[in-house]
Structures are given as C-alpha cells and as structure tokens.
Structure 1
Amino acid sequence: METFMINLVNRLRVTQFLLTIIITTLLYSPTWPFSAAAASTTTQLELLKGFKATPDPSTTPFQALLQDSSNNFAFGFLRTNETLLTVAVIHLPSYEPLWVANPTRFAQWSDTTQLSFNGSLVLSDPRSKVFWSTGTQGDRVVLLNSSNLQIIQSLGGESATQSALWQSFDFPTNTLVENQNLTDKMALVSSNGKYSMRLGEDFWGLYAAFRQGSDKNYYKHTAMEVKAQIVKGKGPIYAQINSDGYLGMYQLGTRPPVDILPFTSFQRRVNGLLRLRLEPDGNLKGYYWDGSNWVLNYQAISEPCELPSPCGSYGFCKPGSGCSCLDNRTDFNSGQCFRGVSAGDFCGDDVTEKNFWVLRREGVELPYKELMSYKTTSSLEQCESLCERSCSCWGAVYSNGSGFCYTLDYPIQTLLSVGDQSKMGYFKVRISPRRHRVGVLFRAMIGVLTGIVAVLVGFIGFVVYKKWMKRRGQKRFLEEGTGGASPGPYKDLGSASFRSLEMCSR
C-alpha cells in the first residue's frame, strides 16, 4: 500500500510538471502556426538564401527584419500613407529613415507583398510583379553598425575572404550619414522629389526641379582648397561627413580634405550619430543624436525667404513678415496664389489665343540671382520685350539702377520683397485650361450669335428692299401712263360730262 501511494504521488508530480510546460507554451508561444516563412519574419543579424517575409497587418509603422549588432539600426518594411510600404533602413532609437529602397514606387501593405532573398533582395507582388531588386548573386545580407546594408559574396580559397557585391551607401536617398561617401555619380534627393544635392568639379550644389529636364541651381558651395589643392585629371571629388563634426570634400586618393565645412559640433566630439538630410523645402540640414533627440547641427540656408520657394508659386516673401501673393489681392492663406499654374512653357500654345495674362510688381528680387545669367537692357520695356517674345520665358526681373534683366525659363516661384521700387518684375500667368476652354467656348458662341444676327438683319433688309422696289415700280408705271401728270381724282366714265366730251370729239 505504501509503495502504491509513493508511485501515485510521483505520477501526480510528473503530470503537474507536464501541465506546467503545456500551459507555459500556450501562453508565450506565437499564435500563428510555425513555418519557415513565419520564422523568417523575426529580426535577424543576417539573411540567407531562401529568406522570405510578408508584412504583418498589425505592425505600424515599421516591421524590423534585420538589425545590426549594436541594435542602433534595422532593415525592414516601412509603412507609408497607411496602406503602402517600401523597405528601408531606420535609426531604431528615433525610427528615423536613413535609407529607402525605392522612394518613387511603393507596394501595398498586404500579405501578397513579399520580400525575398535568393542571391538578390527582391520586393515583389504576384499581381504587380517586381517593385525593387538589387540584381545581385550574393550569399547573405548583413546590416553594419554604420547603417550600411550590404549583400555579401563569400570567396573561395584558404583565406575565405568576403566581398560586398552591393551596398545601400552607394544608393543614398535624402540622407548622408557620417563616413558615407557622396560621389559625383550620386545625388541626395528630397522626399518630395523637388530638390537634389550634387557634386561638380570643385563644388557641391543644391538644385530645384522647377522645369522638367532642366534643374535650377539655387545654392553653391565651392571648395576653399586651404589644406589641399584640387588637381585636374587626378580624379573627381567626393563629400563625406567627418566624425569631428564637419562636411569635407576630398579628391579621390588624396588627404587632407580640399574643403572643410564646419558644423556647430566641429571639434567637439559627440557620441551620437551625425547625419545630413535634404529637406522637403530644399534646405540642407545637419543633425546629431544626443541620446533622445536629433539636434540641429548645420543648415545651408538660414533665412527662410532665401529658400527656393518658401511661399509657393507666385508667392511673395518679406523677411520677418512671412508670405503673401505677388498680385497683392489673393489671400495667401488659401494655400495657393493662382490655380491652374503648370510646368513646361508656352511654346506649344497658340499665341494668338493669349492664354495668359501679365502681372507686374515693383520692389521684387530673385532670391538666388547671383547664380543666374542676365542681359543688360536699356529699359524695363526692352527687358519685358525679351520675355514677351520668348515662348519659354515665364517672367523677367529688371533693375533700373544696373539695367540687369533676368529672364525666368521656369514657372514663377517665390520672389523676395525689397524696399527698392526700381526693381521691377514682369510675370506671365497661365490661364487655367478649364477657364481657357470656357473662354474659347464663349468666344465661339458670341461668333455664332453674331452670325445669326447678321443673317437676320440681312434678311430683313432684303425684304424691306424688295417691298420698296415694288412700290417704286408701281409709282413709275402710273407716272408714265398719264404723261407725267398726276392722275387726279377718280372720274365716273358713265357721267354726263364724260359723254358730252366724247360727242364733241367726234
């Protein structure tokens, strides 16, 4: 009996232990069934061939798939506009995107969208096919502590070396992080696609895409060449953020830098990450991470009115006073000074239709005129004539003091407000297509009505003329029958007097 009780107690203990394991497993295990695809959606330190992942509908705004060893950066699905996604590298403490795979084409945040790696990273959908691909034949994907995403190929041999076939640092979007090179083959592009940062032979510049096919340079920083000279033919220059707190320009294969542009943290070591971003307003700004916030470290343009278009099309910016509209009548608070303004030019339009009107304004200046070409004219009228005769010209700004005439070959952007009334502007304002069609239809209706009235007037005149001619003919006939005398009163041929006259004549 005693042995039976001992065995029973032992069995109860084993049963209790098994129940504990089962309950713990049910409480802390994932609710989805285990599979290779499901397991791959967890954050990893590398992605191997065969990796596949789909976005989790409950995740917002970022779903991490790969992270670096320091846990500062992650690569994964980035949600945008609630229903769309792309793949991106983010700074984990701030969730700030540092690199985006394809900022111009997005996939749907749905279980049909898939990121896979089979030598090449591919973002695809069975219905829309491939959204983005690296086009490589690598062995694995890693994310470095610098935030650089790389596809690695292992090389055979005793040394077992590795080579980076592809890296995100070669395809920057709107951000440059420290120790990342920006070469003359690359560009930073703002998230709205309107502005870009590019390198020249001895400078870097900011450009605005005001007109398709032609970018306007609105900011330029030329290398000072204090510590080193640029040698022609030795190679192009590149830019890099140095950990000491400056943006340097270098010529390939040479040190020290040919230019140093200091940030506010220059020679003051900061522990957080340094980055440079081209903002949606066209300004270039530098930041550093202080452990809890991004601190402004540098900005290329400090005065808001000096930005390429702070008040939008046909805006008027006065330092310290904000924005208004060039026509001085439209309320800027409506959000748009003129509706129907489009890109392009007037070269494809019928100039006889006059589908634009002219706006003139005194006290105006271009915010970046030192980077624009000009012609010297003797008068405002001559300057205006240059623009009026050119179908590619949208406007002109003239200085009466210098005679400089700046013509604008792109849709009018924000102008500066200045106190000098001798600086005058001439601007073409395109009539909206709808309004233009209404005007054309109205003129056509007026033409038709005018034609109808002319026909009616002609017909009435013809009828009146016919009646007048008929009456005139009757009158002439009567005058000819009486020898030209008046026919007088009617005579009764049967009267006695008429018979007496007849007898006498016999």
Structure 2
Amino acid sequence: MTEPFHLHNHNHKIIFFHLIFMFYFLFPIYTLSPGQSLSVENNYDIIRSPNKRFTAGFHQVGLNAYCFAIWFSNDQPTTENRTIVWMANRDEPVNGKSSKLSLLKDGNLVLTDADQYIIWSTQTKSKSTCNLKLHNNGNLVLHEQNQILWQSFDYPTDTLLPNQKLTKDTQLVSSRSLTNFSSGFYKLFFDSDSILRLHYDGPEVITNFWPDPALRPWEVGRYQYLYSRKASLDSYGRFNSSDGLSFLSNDFGIGPQRMMKIDIDGNLRVYSLVEYQKSNKWEVQWQAVSHSCRVHGICGQNSLCTYSQNLGRSCTCLHGYKMVNSKDWSYGCEPVLKTCKPENQDFIELRHVEYYSFDIRYHENYTLDACKEDCLHDCSCKGFQFGYKNDVGTYYCYIKTSLYNGYQMGFYNSMYIKLPKTFVSSFNQTFFKQTRLGCAAQPVVTPLARSYEKKHENKLLRYVLVLGCVIGFLEIVFILFFWYKNSRRLITPDQGYFPVVAFRKFKYHELKKASRNFKDEIGRGGASVVYKGTLSDNRIAAIKKLKNLTQRGEGEFQDEISTIGRLNHMNLIETWGYCVEGKHRLIVYEHMENGSLAENLVRGTLDWEKRIEIAKGTAKGLAYLHEECLEWVLHCDVKPHNILLGANYTPKVADFGLSKLVDRAGVYNSRFSTVRGTRGYMAPEWVFNLPITSKVDVFSYGVVVLEMITGRGPGGKNKTSDGNGQIEPGVIEWVRDKVQEFGQSQTGSWVEEIVDGSVQGEFDWTIMENLVRIALQCVEEDMQVRPTMSQVVNMLLHPKNDTSLFSM
C-alpha cells in the first residue's frame, strides 16, 4: 500500500528542516566576510566560536527590540535565560524586522535599524580583505590579515571574561534590571588616583562605595597615583589589579568557565559555571561587598535596607515616607507630610541603623537631648546618628542633611529620624527589628531605676558636690579664655585670619620647586596666574598665584580658602592645599588635563554628548553649593572659564574667589558691598541693586548652556556689527527670537537654527529642546521665575514633554 501524497510531502519537510538544523549547528558560521550580513529575522544567523562555547547574534531585549550580543552557548538553552557577556547597542535596541549586522567591503562593521539608519559601528577601514571571528575566549575580533582592527574585549559592557583587560580607558557598567539591559547606575572603573572603584551614579547622588570610603586606600591594600592602570581575571580564577587588589576565587584552579560581572545590585562578583545533574549553573566564587545592603543607592533616599538569610535583602520606606516610584527603588522615598516647625516635630529611634555620609555637623561629648535640639531647629536636618566612642569615652552625634545608604547591621548606635509628631506617635519599633549580624556582643549598659528616701539624704555630700561642680565650671571658663587669648597672639599681622581646613598648608619654596620657579603657565585671570606643577608625591597640580594683592584681593583669597574647605563633590574642583607666607598667597588644586570649558569651546573639541554631560555635571555641582553645604555658597562667577574638564571631560566648577558664604536664614536677604562676576554672565540683580540670592548663579548657568548649544558668546558671535551697522543681539535675545519665529511659523525647526553646526556628532532633538527650555527658564529676568539648581538637575535627569517653550 502506498503512502498518501500529503504524508510523503510532510516527511520531506521534516527532512528539510533537519538538514537546516544540522547545517547551522553541526556546521556553524565561524567567520563573517566583507559583503555578508546577519539578519535579526533569522534565528540561525549567528557566529560561533570554534569551541562552540560562545555565540554571537541578535538577542531579544524587549517587545520588537533586539541587541547584537555575545552569550555563553552551553549554560542555558532558552533565549530568556542566556548569560550575556557583551552587547553592541545596549542603550539603543534595533527593530525586529529588517535590522542587520553587516561587514561592509571597506572594513566597517555596522548595525543598521529597519530604516537603514546606522545604530552602531566599529568605525574601521580596511585596505585589504578582512573578516569577523568569534574567538574561543569570547572575544569578537575584526581581523585584517594578522592585524586586529577592532575587538569586543576593548569595549566591555557589564562583564569581564578571563584574560580580558580592564584599563584606564574601559569600565564595566551594570544593567538597569534583569529585564532591562540598558546602562544602569553602577560602574567599575579606574579613578583618577589609579584606584579601582565601584561607583554609583544615581538619579540624585553620585558616590564611590568600594573600597570602603571610610578607610584610606593603603588601609585596604591599595596604592594611589600609579603610572599603570590595568586589571584582569585569568582562567585559573586569579584577579590582579595594578592598584594592589589581588584575590583568588573560591574554586581557584583549572576547571570551570569563569566571568567577573557587575550585577544590577551594584556588587562585583566572580562566577563559575558548575554542572549540576546534566545542567549548568553559575555560582558566586567571590564578591566585592560582603553585605549587600552596603552597596550605595540600592534602596534610594529615605529608605532602609535590611537583610536576613531567609528573606534576603529588602528595602523599606522609613516611617512617614512613601515610595517615589513604586516600580523602582533607586528613586527612594519621599515624606508623606512636610513641616519645619520645631514644635510640630519629634524623633523616632532606629536601633543598629546607619546612614552613610551627608553629615553637615559633628558634635562630640553631646547629650541626646542636645543633638535633638540642634536638629529640630535646622530645617535641612533630616536626622542624626547618635553613639558612644569607647576610645575616648564620650557620646557623639552626626547631624545629617539627607538620608541615603541606610542599612541595618550589628551597630551599637542608633539613628534618630525627625518626623511630624503625628507619625512619631504611630511608630512601632518592632517593625524594624532584624537578626543582628555580628561577632561577640559587647556588654550592654542597662539604666537602673533608683529611688531614695529623703530621710537617708546626706546634706554634707550634696554641698560638696555642688561646690565641686562650680569649681569645675570656673576652671573650664578660665581655660577657654586663656586659649582664646593665646590663639589670637599666634596670628601675625601680615597673615590675617585663615580658618583651619582639612587640607595641607604648603611652604612657598615647595610650590616654587614644584612649578619649576613658576615656569609652566596654564591660565591667567585679572588677579591671578595659574601654573602647572608636580608635587613631592608626584601628583600633578594647578598652582594659583595671586598677584598685586590688594585689601579686596586678600579678602577674596580668604573667602576662597574658607569656602573650599567645606566642599566635597565630584563636580567641584578638589583643593589640596594653600600657602600663606609674607606677601605670597597661593592655592593648590588638582590639575584638570583637558583645561577649561572656554578653551574647549574655542577649539571645537566637544561633541554633543560631552556638552550635554557637562551641562548635567555643572548643574549638580552648583546644586550642591546652593543646597547641600553647611552654609549655602553662592559662586557669583559661573562662566566657561571657571568650568574645568577632567580626563573623561567630567566638569568641575572652580574658582571660588568671588564666592559668598551665606547663612541659611539670610539667603534671601543677602547684600554684597561690590558687584561680582563677569559681564555677559551676570544676572540683572547686580545692575538693579536687588537682593543677591542663589538665582544669580542660575542665570549665569543658563547663559553658559546657551553658549554651549549655539557657539555664540553672551554678547553674540560679532559684538560690533552684523555688517549693516546694527549691533547683533546677545545670545539670550537671539535664541528667544528664533523660538518665537518658530511659534509663528510651523515651517522649519528652530533647533536647527540655533545649534552650532560645527559641532561633531548626532544629538537627540527631544533632549536638545529640553536643554534649551531649561536654559531659557534660567535666564529669566525675574529671579522668582527662575528654577533652583536642584530643580534644574531634576529637569535634566527626568525630562518631560513640555510645549510651553513655543509660547514664549
């Protein structure tokens, strides 16, 4: 009996698909040649390493969203459980149809979207035949004969494979979540001091958290300011870094496949692929931060991180607070009810809890009531850490302006949170009780309730105690008086008053030697010259020397020394010391190798991505000055010349010679004896003798941003004439006119009209429109209308669709 035709045809189809399967998996593609492409629509368009351990191809990261990636072939068979080790376009996925990875005949490897727009490329050129190969170690390499044109090992994402180098030019950046592969908030990189660090760059704050920032580098076996910056994990499980960090994985030796990865929770771990009953599983063999709650930013602001062996790590909003974003803990929590009146507030105690950093004051030998009183009468105080120092036998408290990085461990001190009284009365301490993780417990001093009957009272003893207290009080008064008198005698007339600050006082001959007799000039201002120098510890420094010191100049120098002693932020220039000898006044800063923003704008070295990041970083630095210092600092001279750029073009606000320390109570009523700043960047308040507030810096910042976008100075490109005898308008009026023209006519784009056409690179139109909108709000003549710098930061980091710009 013969088979039906349709059954016979069905068998042919089965054989056909089996042949395809055998072709791709028994004879996989090992090389991509010029003119060839891999299509997103074909699941079998992949490249495999000769040992079949690694696979490169399109990986689905969302609904109709794909990234070109490299993954382990043998750890998980399904797409959802792949272990990705590298991605080309993690922050810009391509369409699920018509997208391709192509090796062009000119040697450029490009990833194109459905509309043929180039999303990513290696930007390489080849003079002869080249090909793309995936090596056995997971390195995707573009070869030209024996030369490497490009390799994925030079551009890691969140994973470091064995023998892959991490250098000063590379970094690991975590994914946003388990299902979102875009760049997250955590990164591993070599800092400017050559230390390998874990870094958190969140929605609100930026901080390094590993190695432990409370310890000096040499206390954790690290070495600073080395010429070499490189690290790698070898195939045996040994990790070595140039800064002295070295360790062995728990399963050190020849055997399993390994990788080092910065996970979504910010921790750095080494994994090994272990076989379990014919299945593979990744096991942790080492991790950087032993207690996961000590990773900064893991729960956001105003929250508490707790850990237990049964439940793992969990985040909880503090009592009286609620989540900002119910789907993302990184945004933290916000208060349910806000009040600043001391009579309406009280404290709750969180035992064995610590909140790292953001201390605005430190008090030693303070009582609990004294700490509460200090915090209650300071609106910026959110709470304080209270504890006991065994080495000196005194109590202490840290007054905190923000509540970040809170976690519960085996501490023997408490955190007191300031709340409206309505929430204090409803607080239940047992909610926060957790299993304490610690070693042998220290003895706990329990207060005893005593009651004495008056008939047993010893009157003579009472008189002796009173007399002793009076004598002790008088001794303290006399000691303080003589200390004050002697300290004033130590100040010579030509030195003036200089506060004690947490950096070094240099000798003049040291700085003269460091700068080679002030030979290498790198900057000049109206009252100072800046020289490049090498300090005795081989740090490269910028040495600012004041010239022709007048009484006003002496005041500015003292202001700058006083100001910078209180500052600590990654977007503010770091000061290493100062010199006061006779008539010499010098300040020693960190050297910023890419110079000032003004120099880079003239040279045209900044693309759009760098300019936008500079705008964000400068805003963060100014927001810190205005709102996070012990006393608010008004810079008063924000301009491109005072924004310096580091190795990675990280902006740092510098030159606080014209700055003003303002008490919080008088920030809206401050008066200046003289006008401060630079023409073109100065707010109208200076001209009309209005109260000077932090809004003058906001105005200057807006002018700087418009200058970066348009390429025009504050007075326009041509400050004399446009050729017709007319004075060309300043950048503010010019941009406003262009925006108004767009509002009147829908043809054309005002963005194209105002952006500097000479700037290299593409830009996101939405981001650019948002940046212009923010800058124009900053330069409003009415200071009440301008946003604060913290609001500017929030608008930059969380842009919203806003059409109000076109009605201006």
TM-score tier, shorter chain, comes to 0.5 to 0.7
Secondary structure at the counterpart of residue 169 of structure 2: coil
CA distance in 2, matches of 1:339, 1:215: 12
- CA separation of 1:29 and 1:246: change in aligned 2, threshold 3 A: same
Out of 121, 135, 140, the position equivalent to 2:131 is: 140
Secondary structure at the counterpart of residue 175 of structure 2: coil
Return the offset for 1:396: 5.0
CA distance in 2, matches of 1:387, 1:373: 13
Give the corresponding residue for 1:77. 58
Deviations 1:43-64 (A, max 9, x none): 411111101232226x4xxx55
Letter in 1 for 2:247: L
Letter in 2 for 1:209: D
Letter in 2 for 1:50: G
CA distance in 1, matches of 2:115, 2:345: 49
Deviations 1:439-477 (A, max 9, x none): xxxxxxxxxxxxxxxxxxxxxxxxxxxxxxxxxxxxxxx
* 8 Å Cα contact 2:299-2:330 kept in structure 1: no
CA distance in 2, matches of 1:141, 1:224: 46
2:398 is equivalent to residue 405 of structure 1:
yes
**Comparing both chains, which one has the higher relative contact order based on Cα–Cα distances under 8 Å and sequence gaps of 6 or more?**
1
Return the offset for 1:210: 2.4
Give the corresponding residue for 2:115. 127
Return the offset for 1:236: 2.5
Out of 392, 416, 420, the position equivalent to 1:424 is: 416
- CA separation of 1:199 and 1:385: change in aligned 2, threshold 3 A: farther
Out of 237, 250, 253, the position equivalent to 1:264 is: 250
Cα RMSD over matched residues?
4.4
Letter in 2 for 1:195: Y
CA distance in 2, matches of 1:74, 1:240: 22
Letter in 2 for 1:49: P
* 8 Å Cα contact 1:67-1:143 kept in structure 2: yes
Give the corresponding residue for 1:149. 140
Deviations 1:198-240 (A, max 9, x none): 123353221112245x5211221757898xx96956x232111
2:90 is equivalent to residue 103 of structure 1:
yes
Give the corresponding residue for 2:33. 48
- CA separation of 1:116 and 1:149: change in aligned 2, threshold 3 A: same
CA distance in 2, matches of 1:361, 1:194: 31
Return the offset for 1:317: 3.2
Secondary structure at the counterpart of residue 423 of structure 1: strand
Letter in 2 for 1:122: V
Give the corresponding residue for 1:303. 291
- CA separation of 1:361 and 1:135: change in aligned 2, threshold 3 A: farther
Deviations 1:57-80 (A, max 9, x none): 6x4xxx552111111111111111
Q: Normalized per residue, which structure has more strand?
A: 1
Letter in 1 for 2:90: P
Letter in 1 for 2:398: C
Q: How many residues align?
A: 361
Return the offset for 1:308: 2.8
| Unaligned ranges ≥5, structure 2 | 1-8, 76-81, 177-183, 389-394, 421-808
CA distance in 2, matches of 1:408, 1:70: 56
Give the corresponding residue for 1:388. 379
Return the offset for 1:262: 2.2
Deviations 1:424-448 (A, max 9, x none): 23489xxxxxxxxxxxxxxxxxxxx
Secondary structure at the counterpart of residue 236 of structure 1: coil
2:161 is equivalent to residue 177 of structure 1:
yes
CA distance in 1, matches of 2:109, 2:99: 13
2:211 is equivalent to residue 220 of structure 1:
yes
* 8 Å Cα contact 1:114-1:124 kept in structure 2: yes
Letter in 2 for 1:236: S
Alignment of 1:463-502 (within 5 A): none
CA distance in 1, matches of 2:96, 2:70: 17
- CA separation of 1:386 and 1:109: change in aligned 2, threshold 3 A: farther
CA distance in 1, matches of 2:198, 2:134: 30
Give the corresponding residue for 2:316. 325
Secondary structure at the counterpart of residue 189 of structure 1: strand
Return the offset for 1:186: 1.5
Q: TM-score w.r.t. structure 1 length? A: 0.60
Structure ID, larger Rg: 1
CA distance in 2, matches of 1:302, 1:148: 30
Q: Which moved more, 1:200-209 or 1:321-330?
A: 321-330
Out of 33, 39, 46, the position equivalent to 1:65 is: 46
Letter in 2 for 1:177: L
Deviations 1:230-284 (A, max 9, x none): 6956x23211112332221137xxxxxx432222123xx2322211111111111
* 8 Å Cα contact 2:294-2:405 kept in structure 1: no
Letter in 2 for 1:283: N
* 8 Å Cα contact 1:325-1:331 kept in structure 2: no
- CA separation of 1:397 and 1:279: change in aligned 2, threshold 3 A: farther
Task: Indicate the percent of aligned positions where both proteins have the same amino acid.
Answer: 19
Out of 184, 187, 205, the position equivalent to 1:196 is: 187
Return the offset for 1:380: 3.0
Give the corresponding residue for 1:441. none
| Unaligned ranges ≥5, structure 1 | 1-21, 155-161, 252-257, 344-350, 429-506
Q: Which moved more, 1:269-278 or 1:320-329?
A: 320-329
- CA separation of 1:187 and 1:232: change in aligned 2, threshold 3 A: closer
Out of 75, 88, 92, the position equivalent to 2:73 is: 92
Letter in 1 for 2:115: R
- CA separation of 1:231 and 1:128: change in aligned 2, threshold 3 A: same
Return the offset for 1:135: 0.9
CA distance in 2, matches of 1:353, 1:397: 16
Letter in 2 for 1:131: I
Give the corresponding residue for 2:259. 275
CA distance in 2, matches of 1:92, 1:189: 23
Secondary structure at the counterpart of residue 231 of structure 2: strand
* 8 Å Cα contact 1:149-1:169 kept in structure 2: yes
- CA separation of 1:339 and 1:196: change in aligned 2, threshold 3 A: closer
2:269 is equivalent to residue 285 of structure 1:
yes
2:187 is equivalent to residue 206 of structure 1:
no
* 8 Å Cα contact 1:398-1:424 kept in structure 2: yes
* 8 Å Cα contact 1:364-1:418 kept in structure 2: no
